[in-house]
């Protein structure tokens, strides 16, 4: 395993550029859907379609990357993102009621998001790339790079989106075009600079038939508990993400202010993972960092409910960092714990299942969050606090028998599987 930081820098730049496009497009979806007369359940499905594809394809891409290497899968994902954003750009300039190739505009928005979800399901492959390129003691620090890239993308993506807002509320082709261009640049950069992270001669995982890959994970209670924790905590945070624009609207914030809230969220995420988590995680260890993150989220989500009840934008800015910093600490810690408990030749597959657990939560979050918001603006965040209380118990259970920071709890033996 190479000690050089160059591969990590390259994978960071590659993921950042791709997620910058994601940050541009995501805040636009509800407004575009409303313009094209989508119903409330169609808006929920439009948001959920991306995560649904990640749920289905993340383990597949991870397994294949264990066999053929990380580089080809990452390149395929970047190329797919480029094409999906280009499609999003093209259909965004179609008129209301216009039909293209037999489908209306709303249907094409679904197609573009489904394609983006399939392409974006390579994030666990990027995590496996980091696992290939880091020592066990630096695994959590390396995993936080994905969060840093996501944070930067969420800072600058919405800021770019601010300048694309039209006064008449109609969609614009430019945000999708910028996102496609950035993903295309990331593809070319990775094509030229990104080396393969899997060592020559390293054992490739057998791609199991049917549900054998699932059965291997189910047979490990420690992995199942980690994935259940990832599911619960992501569901709680996902309800915040998918209803935040509704909350800002409910307390009287306009379109530009809504984008600035998302940019603020990304800035907090960036600072948390880029400065705090990456420095503290190697010292505290995965378990302690996860515990701190779970506590912050358990407290922070109900505080957001209080901000909604008080109709205060300033209060919302004050309490948002609790939940965002908590998730920034919790997510890479759980991912690192999952990686450290997995043998080398199964990193892509198991991290793929972990991504599927998170993706399933993100499929359900728009549905549950919007449903609860229909009753009260406080309910999604109060429910999130309850979910996090359960998640906090799960985090405590994952620490049973955990070793102090600096000691490895990973199972290093290589398992073999027959047909």
| Closest-CA residue to 31 (of 232, 259, 192, 213) | 259
Confidence check: pLDDT of 374 > 90? no
Q: Which of 14-18, 180-184, 386-390 has the lowest mean pLDDT?
A: 14-18
Other CB atoms within a 10 A radius of the CB of residue 163 amount to 12
CA–CA dist 233, 225 (Å, integer): 12
CA–CA dist 21, 150 (Å, integer): 10
Residue 109, token pair as written in the block: 């928005």
Per-range mean pLDDT, top range of 64-68, 142-146, 345-349, 356-360 = 64-68
Confidence check: pLDDT of 65 > 90? no
**Predicted pLDDT at 270:** 78
- pLDDT one-digit tens code per residue, 96-108: 888 899 899 889 9
Confidence check: pLDDT of 86 > 60? yes
Confidence check: pLDDT of 232 > 50? yes
**Beta bridge mates, 100:** 103
DSSP letter string over 373-393? Answer: HHH-TTHHHHHHHHHHHHHHH
Confidence check: pLDDT of 150 > 60? yes
The dotted CATH code for 6-195+217-398 is 1.20.1250.20
pLDDT band at 128 (very low <50, low <70, confident <90, very high): confident
**Predicted pLDDT at 389:** 94
The structure's pTM equals 0.69
Contacts of residue 407, defined as CB under 8 A and 6 or more positions apart, other chains included, come to none
SS (H, E, C) 221-289: HHHHHHHHHHHHHHHHHHHHHHHHHHHHHHCCCCHHHHHHHHHHHHHHHHHHHHHHHHHHHHHHCHHHH
Confidence check: pLDDT of 419 > 80? no
R_g of the chain, CA atoms, integer Å = 20
How many Cα atoms are found within 13 Å in the side-chain-facing hemisphere of 89?
A: 20
DSSP letter string over 183-202? Answer: HHHHHHHHHHHPPP-SPTTP
Q: Which of 222-231, 320-329, 342-351 has the lowest mean pLDDT?
A: 342-351
Angstrom distances, CA of residue 282 to CA of 131, 344, 416 = 15, 20, 31
Average pLDDT, the chain: 78
Q: What is the mean pLDDT of residues 331-336?
A: 80
**Predicted pLDDT at 255:** 67
Are 330 and 297 in contact by the 8 Å Cβ rule? The answer is yes
**Predicted pLDDT at 216:** 59
Sequence spans of domains, the chain: 6-195+217-398
| Closest-CA residue to 301 (of 356, 241, 351) | 241
- pLDDT one-digit tens code per residue, 182-228: 889 889 988 988 888 776 555 444 334 444 455 556 667 777 788 88
Q: Phi and psi (nearest 5°) for 197?
A: -90, -25
Q: What is the mean pLDDT of residues 9-34?
A: 74
């Amino acid at each position: 395993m190479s000690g050089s930081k160059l591969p990590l820098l390259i994978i960071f730049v590659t993921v950042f550029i791709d997620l910058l496009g994601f940050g541009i497009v995501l805040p636009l979806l509800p407004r575009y859907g409303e313009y094209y007369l989508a119903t409330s359940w169609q808006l929920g499905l439009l948001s959920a379609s991306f995560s649904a594809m990640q749920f289905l394809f993340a383990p597949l891409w991870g397994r294949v990357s264990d066999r053929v290497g990380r580089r080809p899968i990452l390149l395929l994902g970047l190329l797919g993102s480029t094409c999906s954003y280009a499609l999003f750009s093209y259909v965004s300039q179609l008129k209301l009621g216009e039909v293209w190739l037999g489908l209306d505009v709303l249907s094409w928005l679904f197609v573009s998001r489904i394609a983006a979800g399939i392409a974006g399901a390579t994030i666990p492959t990027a995590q496996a790339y980091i696992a290939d390129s880091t020592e066990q003691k630096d695994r959590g620090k390396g995993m936080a790079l994905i969060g840093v890239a996501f944070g930067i993308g969420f800072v600058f993506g919405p800021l770019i989106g601010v300048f694309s807002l039209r006064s008449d509320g109609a969609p614009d082709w430019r945000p999708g075009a910028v996102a496609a261009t950035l993903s295309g640049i990331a593809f070319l950069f990775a094509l030229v600079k990104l080396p393969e992270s899997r060592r020559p001669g390293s054992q490739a995982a057998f791609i199991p038939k049917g549900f054998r890959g699932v059965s291997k994970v189910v047979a490990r209670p420690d992995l199942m508990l980690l994935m259940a924790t990832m599911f619960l905590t992501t569901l709680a945070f996902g309800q915040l993400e998918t209803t935040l624009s509704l909350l800002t609207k409910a307390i009287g914030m306009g379109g530009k202010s809504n984008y600035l809230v998302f940019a603020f969220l990304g800035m907090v995420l960036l600072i948390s993972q880029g400065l705090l988590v990456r420095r503290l995680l190697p010292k505290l260890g995965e378990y302690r960092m996860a515990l701190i993150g779970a506590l912050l989220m358990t407290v922070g989500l109900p505080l957001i409910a209080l901000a909604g009840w008080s109709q205060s934008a300033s209060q919302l800015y004050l309490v948002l960092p609790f939940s965002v910093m908590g998730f920034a600490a919790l997510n890479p810690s759980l991912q690192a714990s999952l990686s450290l408990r997995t043998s080398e030749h199964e990193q892509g597959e198991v991290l793929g299942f972990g991504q599927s657990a998170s993706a399933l939560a993100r499929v359900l979050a728009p549905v549950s969050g919007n449903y609860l918001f229909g009753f009260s603006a406080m309910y999604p965040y109060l429910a999130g606090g309850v979910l996090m209380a359960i998640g906090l118990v799960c985090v405590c259970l994952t620490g049973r028998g955990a070793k102090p920071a600096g000691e490895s709890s990973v199972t290093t033996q290589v398992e073999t599987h027959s047909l």
